With several copies, the nearest count.
Chain A
Amino acid sequence: MSDERAERVLDASEAAALVRDGMVVGLSGFSYQNPPMALVREIIRRRVKGLTIVSGPTSGIETDLLIGAGCVRRAVTAGVAFEQVVPMAPAFRRAAERGEIEVWECDECLWHLALKAAAWGMPYLLWRGGVGTSIPELNPDLEEVQEGGRRYLKVPARPLDIVFLHAAEADRFGNVRAARQAYLGRSFCERALALACRGPVVASVERLVPDDETLGSPERTLVRGAFVVEAPWGAHPGGTSGRYAPDLEHYAEYAAAGEARRKGDPQPYQRYLERHVYGPEDHDGYLRTIGAGRLEALRLGAA
């Protein structure tokens, strides 16, 4: 008789090693919240190339940094937001303007629909939003069609090869969940990504919790069947809903480096990458570049 359940715990480097050049990679994060940054930095350290990243629907620094580090060929996102810091995400802007990446032009609804079609095995979905806009012109694979006298966008399915996300907690068996205090809404894109994925789903989490905790409040579970990586402060400089706020000073520093590069001076961005990504051996090393005091100051008041 066996009662040994298989644990689904990986370390960050094992998780990042699942990525191959050219894969279609789903990434969680919405603006400043819940980007899987510890995993993203580990992917960059592995010098992966040619990824299609499906992030957001409105994404943030996870997308900008992967682009800035040269890992990305194509970005599927409704936008890359650095609101209240700079008007536009610097590496995304630079790479798109230089033609170094393709952008699948969409909005948040089209982003969700492409994933839903993949999740449900549908070749496409027809959608009224976006007719009469530039979106079908800019995307060769997103045509406008007539059906019953009305015009629709024909949104093709977008299956994912692998998904990385960040959340507050998980048990060792792959049940990933939001913090009880996550008051921005329980789910942005985590389930949408996991359902559209035809490969592994990896979640970094602030902490692993005992199985009986996830069993006790199953309504908080966002995703089942994930591989889990324990990475406290794993969303930094982003925030983790219900746990800590985004580090907007760090964003400003990053954005300044990115803007300098965009305007012709590559040094500050290179220094940023060396200091925060390539230099540290792992996530703990990264956290030392930030400092415990600064991290603690971001923590949301104890419940």
Chain B
Amino acid sequence: MSGAGSGLGPLLACVLARELKDGEVVAFGLHAELLLAAALLAQKLHAPNLAIRHGLRVERGPEIGPAAWTDARRSHAHEGIEYLESHDAILDVANPASPMRFCDVFLVGGLQIDREGSTNLIGLKGRDGRMALRGPGSIGTTSIGTLARHVILFSPEHSRRRFVETVDYVSVPGWRRRAAAGLEGGPALCVTSIAVMDFAGGLMRLRSVHPHATADEVRRRTSFPLPPEGPVPVTLPPTAAERAALESIDPSGRLERMPIPAGGEAS
């Protein structure tokens, strides 16, 4: 298989795009070409009023491209940008009812993700209970992940060290921790390179397995049980419409060439 729509990058972009709803504001970090592709794809296919908040910009671009600070991007510098602002606009996530809100749906990952959907970017504990591995830090995830209406977990890597029973530290709280803190709701979905998970009763379960993987593999690579028992649907591969749309937002096939950590150790 080759051309627009083949490979892991295009599949993940399609899976994420299908979750973005018309009229919402989706936010993600700057170095996230795959997420930008997903958002542009949704905008093109079913969510023409999706607002895309890519770093400091509200974007409506014709295609993905290299990071905004590179020379290659330079020629498109001011194309498709609806709004620019200073970085403290992230605080505007705190009023989800304002037309100027920072976002409705937030795409977030972690060093660890646990069964109830909590994430951890802070670090890993050693046997003595102290921090043994210092993580990069919570970056923009904590407040946005707490206050945005919808959170979608995104982790290309799907491994037992990533998907743990309980995170060592909490950057963004999952279902039970949110309830304990008086916050409604919780993450809606978790997309990885091999599967899509959702939540029931505040716990993760398997929703679909990507065509190149199996349910057994997904469970082997996860440290906690993933219901339900029995057969699991296959993730819908890119449709003809999605492939055509990808062709136009990614004419040079950047998504297909994108290096994506697909697995990680299974133990």
Chains A and B share a contact (CB less than 8 Å): yes
Query: Shortest distance in angstroms between B35's beta carbon and chain A's nearest beta carbon?
Result: 13
Query: With A79-B121, A132-B177 as given contacts, are A150 and B141 in contact (CB-CB < 8 Å)?
Result: no
A112 to B86: give the CA distance in the assembly, Å: 11
Chain B, Cβ-Cβ closest to A115: B88
Q: Number of residues in A with C-beta < 8 Å to the partner?
A: 93
Contacting pair B81 A108 (CB below 8 A): no
A162-204 CB contacts (< 8 Å) to partner B: 174-175, 181, 183-189, 191-192, 194-201
A-B contact count (CB 8 A): 264
A123 to B46: give the CA distance in the assembly, Å: 38
Contacting pair B94 A128 (CB below 8 A): yes
A78 to B142: give the CA distance in the assembly, Å: 10
- Provide the main secondary structure of the chain A interface: loop
Question: Quick check: is A121 within 8 A (CB to CB) of the other chain?
Answer: yes
Query: With A133-B142, A185-B56 as given contacts, are A97 and B91 in contact (CB-CB < 8 Å)?
Result: no
Contacting pair B133 A97 (CB below 8 A): yes
Contacting pair A4 B48 (CB below 8 A): yes
B124-140 CB contacts (< 8 Å) to partner A: 131-140
Query: Shortest distance in angstroms between B64's beta carbon and chain A's nearest beta carbon?
Result: 15
What 0/1 readout, one digit per residue, does chain B (172-188) give for beta carbons within 8 Å of chain A? 11000110111100000
Contacting pair B69 A191 (CB below 8 A): no
Chain A, Cβ-Cβ closest to B61: A215
Contacting pair A113 B91 (CB below 8 A): yes
Stretch at the interface among B72-80, B197-205, B230-238: B72-80
A93 contacts across to B, CB distance below 8 A: 133-134
What 0/1 readout, one digit per residue, does chain A (239-254) give for beta carbons within 8 Å of chain B? 1010001100000000
Question: Quick check: is B6 within 8 A (CB to CB) of the other chain?
Answer: no
Question: Quick check: is B228 within 8 A (CB to CB) of the other chain?
Answer: no
B136 contacts across to A, CB distance below 8 A: 79-81, 87-89
Contacting pair B46 A224 (CB below 8 A): no
Query: With A1-B44, A224-B51 as given contacts, are A195 and B98 in contact (CB-CB < 8 Å)?
Result: yes
Contacting pair A132 B131 (CB below 8 A): no
What 0/1 readout, one digit per residue, does chain B (72-107) give for beta carbons within 8 Å of chain A? 001101111111111110111111011110000000
Query: With A119-B98, A184-B56, A191-B86 as given contacts, are A110 and B51 in contact (CB-CB < 8 Å)?
Result: no
Query: Shortest distance in angstroms between A129's beta carbon and chain B's nearest beta carbon?
Result: 3
B24-67 CB contacts (< 8 Å) to partner A: 30-31, 44-46, 48-49, 51, 55-58, 60, 67
Query: With A88-B135, A121-B95 as given contacts, are A112 and B87 in contact (CB-CB < 8 Å)?
Result: yes
Contacting pair B99 A301 (CB below 8 A): no
B57 contacts across to A, CB distance below 8 A: 184-185, 218
B31 contacts across to A, CB distance below 8 A: 31, 83-84
Contacting pair A127 B71 (CB below 8 A): no
A197 to B94: give the CA distance in the assembly, Å: 11
Contacting pair A197 B98 (CB below 8 A): yes
Query: Shortest distance in angstroms between B262's beta carbon and chain A's nearest beta carbon?
Result: 16
A31 to B170: give the CA distance in the assembly, Å: 23
Contacting pair B86 A96 (CB below 8 A): no
Q: Which of B51, B78, B140, B244 contacts A108 (CB 8 A)?
A: B140
Contacting pair B69 A215 (CB below 8 A): no
A64 to B81: give the CA distance in the assembly, Å: 32
Chain A, Cβ-Cβ closest to B48: A5
Contacting pair B100 A194 (CB below 8 A): yes
Q: Which of A84, A107, A159, A188 contacts B142 (CB 8 A)?
A: A107
Question: Quick check: is B214 within 8 A (CB to CB) of the other chain?
Answer: no
A107 to B141: give the CA distance in the assembly, Å: 7
Query: With A2-B48, A105-B138, A107-B138 as given contacts, are A188 and B171 in contact (CB-CB < 8 Å)?
Result: no
- Residue of A5, A83, A120, A225 with most chain B CB atoms under a 10 A cut-off: A225
Question: Quick check: is A27 within 8 A (CB to CB) of the other chain?
Answer: no
Which A-B residue pairs are the 9 nearest by beta carbons? A129-B143, A185-B56, A79-B137, A225-B99, A132-B181, A107-B142, A109-B143, A198-B97, A121-B94
Task: Give 12 CB contacts A-B under 8 Å.
Answer: A112-B87, A119-B91, A120-B95, A131-B146, A132-B177, A133-B173, A138-B169, A175-B82, A194-B98, A198-B95, A215-B60, A245-B71
Report B's interface with A, CB cutoff 8 A. 23, 30-31, 44-46, 48-49, 51, 55-58, 60, 67-71, 74-75, 77-88, 90-95, 97-100, 120-123, 131-144, 146-147, 169-173, 177-178, 180-183, 241, 244-245
